[in-house]
Amino acid sequence: MEGYRKILESQRTLIDTQIRWAVESMTDKPDASGDDWRAAALCQKLDPELFDDTYRNNPQIEMAKIACGVCLVSDQCLNYALKSNENALIYGGLTSKERRALRRKMNRSLR
């Protein structure tokens, strides 16, 4: 169990370092408005597997959410995923399951 904890901790530290690097490397702050929001997506500088929500409760999801939390275009990203019914991966800090729940809630409030 102790070995597993150490592996998890080192995985978190590695991903945290990658997120910090990605944020710091975005020095030219691309335009985050309009259709070009993807140009400012922090995840473009990170391992795409970080945003895979297949294995629920994986600590990697927690780290992906941290990345989304500091991403300049998380609102645009979440809106895109909701409008286009993206049914996999993490978008705008929400897993596919969380987006389905949000969609249901939004649909209920429209009735």
In terms of CB distance, is 7 or 47 closer to ligand SF4?
47
Closest C-alpha to 11, from 43, 41, 49: 49
Residue from 15, 61, 63, 73 touching ligand SF4 (CB under 6 A): that is 73
In terms of CB distance, is 9 or 22 closer to ligand SF4?
22
Token pair 């941290």 in the structure block, residue? 66
Sign of CA dihedral 91, 94, 96, 101: negative
Nearest-approach distance from CB 59 to ligand SF4, in angstroms = 17
Sign of CA dihedral 39, 42, 45, 51: negative
The yes or no reply on residue 51 touching ligand SF4 (CB under 6 A) is: yes
The yes or no reply on residue 61 touching ligand SF4 (CB under 6 A) is: no
**Direct distance between the N- and C-terminal alpha carbons of the chain, in angstroms, rounded to an integer:** 49
Residue from 91, 94, 95, 99 touching ligand SF4 (CB under 6 A): that is 91
Q: Where are the alpha helices (DSSP H) in 43-110?
A: 59-69, 74-83, 96-110
Residue from 68, 94, 96, 99 touching ligand SF4 (CB under 6 A): that is 68
The yes or no reply on residue 42 touching ligand SF4 (CB under 6 A) is: yes
**Chain positions contacting ligand SF4, by CB under 6 A:** 41-43, 51, 67-68, 71, 73-74, 77, 90-93
